[in-house]
Structure 1
Amino acid sequence: MFWWLYYADSRSAGYEELPLVMWLQGGPGGSGSGFGNFDEIGPLNRDLEPRKTSWVQAASVLFVDNPVGTGFSYTDSPDGYATNVSMVASDMLVLLKHFFTERPEFQNIPFYIFSESYGGKMAAAISLELTKAIAQGTVKCKFAGVALGDSWISPLDSVMTWGPYLYTTSLLDDYGLADVNSAAEAVKKAMEEQQFKKATELWSVTETVVEQNTNGVNFYNILTQQPDEKLHLHSLQIRRHIRPLHSPSLNELMNGPIRKKLGIIPQNVIWGGQAEDVFTNMAGDFMRPVVDIVDQLLTSGVNVTVYNGQLDLIVDTMGQEQWVKRLKWEGLPGFNKLRWTALDDPTSPGVTGAFYKTYKNFAFYWILKAGHMIPSDQGPMALEMLKMITQQQL
């Protein structure tokens, strides 16, 4: 498994005084060392120019390409691929044990897991295993919380709200709403029958129905049109959800200058070369929810944050609110009683950039004018949120 660490680079504090954040990308099969690093929160963008809103100014940042086969992570044997989130979690625990042993300077620094999309589903499972490992003394670290960004926690809630969300934003007419809802119902039926692979296939069918009825809405940000994809790939899922994370320029960057600079990547390993295998191996687990894991984390006192972009379709905020309302966590009634608080956009005082609510060990951030990739759409607001979650003085 490939990992990439940046020590915090802040004008006001040494890395010892700032948290460590591990970033997990979606897919499954999307690379954090590539996409999260160069397109979202790393110190350089994909043109290798400095990013003003890099998270490295507020935390040390650890990118891990997971599951195995993602990015520069690789396996030589077919049974090396993870097929479900518990395998993903146990693989990650091996890496974290190694990391905190090899970098003991991080053992007493608050450690947070931040994630996006499918990364959130993995982050929840990893957080639970990490909590157990710390209690048993097998991993030495100061786990401080997990943040689930536009996360695939309850896939069915996402799919079932696509129609209503698109309809209220004038992206579907009555006929389109009926078509999308009926495709979503088929996904629901497969889930009720515990046919998870079939549900993944029907999820993909539902996306096609959405695209046909919206003239190709962009699943990652409803306000930007999806460019026409002329490539004929055997799998629509790969085209929609792995390919955008591995665009030609990022591919060239990672397999060219970055690979050369790293100097440790085996000859036979291509960055992103196994991404499709990663997705295919996880297909039977893809639509399974992990809401119960979030409940366990909250009940055991782990700090959990959910944050979501207003313009995201694939994991729309409506769907996130639905599974949150079903949590069995005893603090939920208290959370529900609270009204949200507005946050100014850090770059435009007086302009609302987000709303948030926090109660005991749970927080929810509604990030405005952002799609699925919040840090790329609203970098200053995402950085502000990071500081708030890791309790740094603003």
Structure 2
Amino acid sequence: MEILIAAVLLSLCTGSGGHPSHQYGNIENRMKYSGSEGTEEWAYVNVRHSAHMFYWLYYSMAPAGFHNVPLVLWLQGGPGGSSTGFGNFEELGPLDVSLKPRNTTWLSLASLLFVDNPVGTGYSYVDRDDAYATNNDMITRDMIVLLEAFFMKADPQFQKVPFYIFSESYGGKMAASISSGLKMAIQSGQIKCNFKGVAMGDSWISPVDSVMTWGPYLYTNSLVDLPGLEQINVDANKTKQLIDEGKWKDATDQWSATEDLVESVTHGVNFYNILKWGGSEIQKGYKKNISSKLARLFHLMVAPFEQDDLDKLMNGPIRQKLKIIPENVQWGGQSENVFTKLSGDFMKPVANVVDQLISNYTDLDVIVYSGQLDLIVDTLGTEKWVHRMKIAPEFIKSTRVPFVDPVSGFVTGYLKKKDNFSFYWVLGAGHMVPADNGSGCLMMLKLIFSP
């Protein structure tokens, strides 16, 4: 479907001959489009030498105007999953993969900022192999450079707008560290921003707790019998031992082996939604004839969400619409390298970072939400690390209250809150909460945004 919309090129590039300079934080080829469906903007930010990060902003069309509703930054998982692709067109953006309007888009409540993060993800790209991020600290520094460029150069009109970071899966691990870095940048005066909260959905915060609860979760849901539970627990404990010993790459390999065992014992459970049988058969197809363990992991964790329809859309009509994607850059073309470069950091926990956010920044809302049907980051495992936090004794005593889907009128989730920490249990949803329970997710957003 052809997208027709009036275009204006904003000249924020520097240097001669129309080529952007290589000053870090420089905005490269910012485009702003306005039309009947609203206002959008996108650009590259040169976050480091040879590292170019792409963002795409949608202004909210809420009746109150974008100045009076929050701005949400969405971070995808993987690592290597594209926010501008999967999060945008498969989960919460204004259009779906068929370019049809989405009834449950978050644009009804907020402006949306999608960033292809880390560099090399989606439309983001690097010019040389040593420019990929290799740990969460590098990812955080890159994002702070991008946010400084966004708030201080490109769009200062958003400085006073309530700003939230929402995330999914590995994106939550990144969001925790980015939130800490952003608070420090605000305190130092580097960035002016009304940072209100961070929400981590089905997030890879404490990998060991997720792996160690796979067996009990599957057993409770009748997906394995007692011998199957014991088999999974043996492999899970091997993963835990390697984590305890700080053998991070070995732990990643053993985690992959535990996943394979789970698929075998359950005869193909879908890791992302236990009710959607058949999804893992697609994933198995991606793993055939792949000898590298890391490559197999990428094709299990990222590739299924960048399949043909989305790939054709992003490398076809959307690329043509955006106009600024370099000829040598293919959407998703460097994503496997992103995953591989972070393999040594993959199994490291960041639960302590979340704990510090809650304790050190009492003005910041820290939110965890979990899909009931998710296996890979199951609710049991998430509660394990949450219940070890400093706030846990008082949080556990708090009253859990239901919230209702405005469409069906039925309970769609539960909320428990203590001070600046909140936990949302979202029913009928797997790993991709906005895709599985869109109207319930919008209700959650309203509760988060309410005073």
If the TM-score is normalised by the length of the shorter chain, which range does it land in? over 0.9
**Deviations for 1:161-220, whole angstroms, at most 9, x for unmatched residues?**
000000000001122111111110000010111000100110100000000000110000
Written as runs of structure 1 = structure 2, the 5 A alignment for 1:1-394 is 1-10=53-62, 12-101=63-152, 102-227=154-279, 228-229=281-282, 230-231=285-286, 232=288, 234=290, 235-300=295-360, 301=362, 302-328=364-390, 331-349=391-409, 351-391=410-450
Q: Quick one: structure 1 residues 371 and 107, their matched pair in 2 at CA, closer, same or farther if it must change by over 3 Å?
A: same
Number of the residue aligned with 2:21: none
Distance 2:393 2:262 in 1: 35
CA drift of 1:68 comes to: 0.4
Helix, strand or coil at the partner of 2:416: strand
- Give 1 or 2: higher strand fraction: 2
Helix, strand or coil at the partner of 1:23: strand
Distance 2:320 2:245 in 1: 49
Distance 1:305 1:135 in 2: 21
Q: Is the 8 A contact 2:404 2:443 kept in 1?
A: no
Q: Is the 8 A contact 1:27 1:279 kept in 2?
A: yes
**Deviations for 1:49-88, whole angstroms, at most 9, x for unmatched residues?**
0001000110000000000000000001111111111110
Q: Is the 8 A contact 2:71 2:110 kept in 1?
A: yes
**Deviations for 1:349-393, whole angstroms, at most 9, x for unmatched residues?**
1x210011111100000000100000100000111111211216x
Helix, strand or coil at the partner of 1:284: coil
**Deviations for 1:199-256, whole angstroms, at most 9, x for unmatched residues?**
0110100000000000110000000113433343623211211112201100000000
Q: Is the 8 A contact 2:140 2:178 kept in 1?
A: yes
Q: Is the 8 A contact 2:387 2:393 kept in 1?
A: no
**Deviations for 1:140-159, whole angstroms, at most 9, x for unmatched residues?**
11110100000000000000
Distance 1:294 1:233 in 2: 39
Q: Which amino acid aligns with 1:277?
A: N
Distance 1:364 1:352 in 2: 16
Distance 2:165 2:226 in 1: 41
Q: Is the 8 A contact 1:233 1:239 kept in 2?
A: no
Q: Tell me which of the two structures has the higher relative contact order, counting C-alpha pairs closer than 8 angstroms and 6 or more residues apart.
A: 1
Q: How many residues align?
A: 388
Identity, in percent, stands at 55
Distance 1:196 1:288 in 2: 7
Distance 1:154 1:305 in 2: 15
| Segment drifting more, 226-235 vs 58-67 | 226-235
Distance 2:216 2:187 in 1: 43
Distance 2:406 2:347 in 1: 36
Number of the residue aligned with 2:29: none
Structure 1: 5+ residue stretches without partners: none
Q: Is the 8 A contact 1:211 1:217 kept in 2?
A: yes
Q: Quick one: structure 1 residues 183 and 137, their matched pair in 2 at CA, closer, same or farther if it must change by over 3 Å?
A: same
| Segment drifting more, 142-151 vs 339-348 | 339-348
Q: Is the 8 A contact 2:205 2:351 kept in 1?
A: yes
Helix, strand or coil at the partner of 1:3: strand
Instruction: Give the aligned CA root-mean-square deviation in angstroms.
Output: 1.0
Distance 2:250 2:93 in 1: 37
Helix, strand or coil at the partner of 1:219: coil
Number of the residue aligned with 2:23: none
Task: Point out 4+ residue stretches in structure 1 off by more than 4 angstroms.
Answer: none
Structure 2: 5+ residue stretches without partners: 1-52
CA drift of 1:104 comes to: 0.5
Distance 2:443 2:141 in 1: 32
| Segment drifting more, 217-226 vs 24-33 | 217-226
Q: Is the 8 A contact 2:69 2:111 kept in 1?
A: yes
Helix, strand or coil at the partner of 2:163: strand
Helix, strand or coil at the partner of 1:334: helix
Q: Is the 8 A contact 2:76 2:169 kept in 1?
A: yes
Distance 2:200 2:326 in 1: 32
* TM-score between both structures, scaled by the size of structure 1: 0.97
Distance 1:59 1:297 in 2: 24
Q: Is the 8 A contact 2:209 2:384 kept in 1?
A: yes
Q: Is the 8 A contact 2:57 2:114 kept in 1?
A: yes
Q: Which amino acid aligns with 1:313?
A: L
Helix, strand or coil at the partner of 2:181: helix
Helix, strand or coil at the partner of 2:126: coil
CA drift of 1:332 comes to: 2.8
Q: Quick one: structure 1 residues 166 and 216, their matched pair in 2 at CA, closer, same or farther if it must change by over 3 Å?
A: same
Distance 1:388 1:343 in 2: 9
